[in-house]
Amino acid sequence: MAKAAKTSATPKNKGGRPSVPINIEEFEKLASLQCTQEDAAAWFGCGLSTIKRKLKEQKYREAWDRGLGNGRVSLRRKQMKLADKNATMAIFLGKQYLGQRDLTAVELAGKDDAPVSFIMNIGAGRGGDPSK
Protein backbone atom coordinates (compact mmCIF):
# COMPACT_ATOMS: atom_id res chain seq x y z
CA MET A 1 0.00 0.00 0.00
CA ALA A 2 1.45 3.39 -1.02
CA LYS A 3 1.67 6.14 1.54
CA ALA A 4 -0.20 9.30 0.73
CA ALA A 5 2.01 12.37 0.59
CA LYS A 6 1.34 14.87 3.34
CA THR A 7 0.16 18.19 2.04
CA SER A 8 -0.28 21.21 4.20
CA ALA A 9 -2.24 24.36 3.45
CA THR A 10 0.14 26.48 5.53
CA PRO A 11 3.79 26.85 4.59
CA LYS A 12 6.31 25.31 6.94
CA ASN A 13 7.89 27.76 9.36
CA LYS A 14 11.58 27.94 8.60
CA GLY A 15 12.32 29.32 12.04
CA GLY A 16 13.33 32.79 13.15
CA ARG A 17 11.13 35.78 13.66
CA PRO A 18 7.95 36.18 11.66
CA SER A 19 8.18 38.46 8.64
CA VAL A 20 7.31 42.11 9.28
CA PRO A 21 4.91 43.43 6.64
CA ILE A 22 6.14 46.76 5.26
CA ASN A 23 3.58 48.64 3.21
CA ILE A 24 5.47 50.17 0.30
CA GLU A 25 3.16 53.21 0.06
CA GLU A 26 3.68 54.03 3.75
CA PHE A 27 7.41 53.43 3.27
CA GLU A 28 7.50 56.02 0.46
CA LYS A 29 5.45 58.53 2.51
CA LEU A 30 7.87 58.24 5.42
CA ALA A 31 10.75 58.97 3.05
CA SER A 32 8.88 61.99 1.64
CA LEU A 33 8.74 63.37 5.20
CA GLN A 34 12.56 63.01 5.25
CA CYS A 35 12.35 60.36 7.97
CA THR A 36 15.51 58.45 8.74
CA GLN A 37 15.75 54.72 8.29
CA GLU A 38 15.67 54.48 12.08
CA ASP A 39 12.36 56.39 12.06
CA ALA A 40 10.94 53.96 9.50
CA ALA A 41 12.02 51.00 11.62
CA ALA A 42 10.27 52.46 14.66
CA TRP A 43 7.13 53.16 12.59
CA PHE A 44 6.90 49.59 11.34
CA GLY A 45 7.96 48.08 14.67
CA CYS A 46 11.02 46.31 13.31
CA GLY A 47 14.76 46.61 13.54
CA LEU A 48 16.96 48.87 11.46
CA SER A 49 18.51 45.78 9.87
CA THR A 50 15.08 44.86 8.47
CA ILE A 51 14.78 48.27 6.80
CA LYS A 52 18.30 48.01 5.40
CA ARG A 53 17.51 44.53 4.07
CA LYS A 54 14.31 45.80 2.41
CA LEU A 55 16.25 48.65 0.79
CA LYS A 56 18.34 46.06 -1.04
CA GLU A 57 15.18 45.09 -2.93
CA GLN A 58 14.71 47.24 -6.01
CA LYS A 59 11.05 48.13 -5.45
CA TYR A 60 11.70 49.33 -1.88
CA ARG A 61 14.86 51.24 -2.89
CA GLU A 62 12.99 52.98 -5.72
CA ALA A 63 10.07 53.86 -3.41
CA TRP A 64 12.44 55.24 -0.74
CA ASP A 65 14.44 57.31 -3.25
CA ARG A 66 11.27 58.58 -4.91
CA GLY A 67 9.89 59.61 -1.50
CA LEU A 68 13.09 61.44 -0.54
CA GLY A 69 13.06 63.32 -3.86
CA ASN A 70 9.38 64.24 -3.57
CA GLY A 71 9.97 65.47 -0.03
CA ARG A 72 12.84 67.73 -1.11
CA VAL A 73 10.74 69.19 -3.94
CA SER A 74 7.86 69.82 -1.53
CA LEU A 75 10.17 71.55 0.95
CA ARG A 76 11.68 73.75 -1.76
CA ARG A 77 8.21 74.70 -2.97
CA LYS A 78 7.24 75.78 0.55
CA GLN A 79 10.50 77.71 0.99
CA MET A 80 9.98 79.59 -2.28
CA LYS A 81 6.42 80.46 -1.28
CA LEU A 82 7.66 81.68 2.10
CA ALA A 83 10.39 83.77 0.44
CA ASP A 84 7.68 86.01 -1.04
CA LYS A 85 6.69 87.09 2.48
CA ASN A 86 9.90 86.62 4.43
CA ALA A 87 13.11 88.46 3.52
CA THR A 88 15.21 86.14 5.69
CA MET A 89 14.04 83.13 3.69
CA ALA A 90 14.75 84.93 0.42
CA ILE A 91 18.31 85.68 1.60
CA PHE A 92 18.78 82.07 2.73
CA LEU A 93 17.62 80.71 -0.62
CA GLY A 94 19.85 83.15 -2.48
CA LYS A 95 22.85 81.91 -0.54
CA GLN A 96 21.95 78.25 -1.02
CA TYR A 97 21.04 78.23 -4.69
CA LEU A 98 22.49 81.38 -6.25
CA GLY A 99 25.90 81.49 -4.61
CA GLN A 100 25.16 84.79 -2.92
CA ARG A 101 27.06 85.58 0.25
CA ASP A 102 27.59 88.26 2.83
CA LEU A 103 30.79 90.25 2.43
CA THR A 104 32.23 91.92 5.47
CA ALA A 105 34.96 94.45 4.93
CA VAL A 106 37.76 94.22 7.47
CA GLU A 107 40.23 97.02 7.79
CA LEU A 108 43.26 96.66 10.01
CA ALA A 109 45.05 99.64 11.47
CA GLY A 110 47.72 99.83 14.12
CA LYS A 111 48.20 102.36 16.86
CA ASP A 112 47.20 105.88 15.73
CA ASP A 113 46.06 104.45 12.36
CA ALA A 114 49.59 103.36 11.47
CA PRO A 115 49.93 100.40 9.11
CA VAL A 116 49.90 96.99 10.70
CA SER A 117 52.96 94.84 10.16
CA PHE A 118 53.09 91.10 10.48
CA ILE A 119 56.15 89.06 11.31
CA MET A 120 56.08 85.44 10.28
CA ASN A 121 58.77 83.12 11.39
CA ILE A 122 58.76 80.26 8.94
CA GLY A 123 60.82 77.32 9.99
CA ALA A 124 60.47 77.70 13.73
CA GLY A 125 59.13 74.49 15.13
CA ARG A 126 56.57 74.21 17.86
CA GLY A 127 57.51 76.25 20.84
CA GLY A 128 60.22 77.98 18.80
CA ASP A 129 61.23 81.50 19.67
CA PRO A 130 59.44 83.81 17.21
CA SER A 131 61.95 86.63 17.82
CA LYS A 132 64.78 84.68 16.15
pLDDT tens digits along 62-98: 999 999 999 999 988 888 898 889 989 888 888 887 7
Quick check: 9 pLDDT over 80? no
**Which residue from 47, 50, 55 is spatially nearest to 31, judged by alpha carbons?**
55
Residue 83 in domain: yes
- CA geometry: angle at 80 spanning 79 and 84, to 5°? 110
Residue 16 in domain: no
Element (H, E) at 91: helix 87-98
For residues 11-28, give the mean pLDDT. Answer: 82
Residue 119 in domain: no
Residue 28 in domain: yes
Quick check: 124 pLDDT over 60? no
Residue 59 in domain: yes
**Which residue from 19, 24, 20 is spatially nearest to 60, judged by alpha carbons?**
24
For residues 46-70, give the mean pLDDT. Answer: 96
Residue 67 in domain: yes
Number of domains in the chain: 1
Residue 86 in domain: yes
For residues 26-34, give the mean pLDDT. Answer: 96
Residue 12 in domain: no
For residue 39, what are the domain limits? 24-100
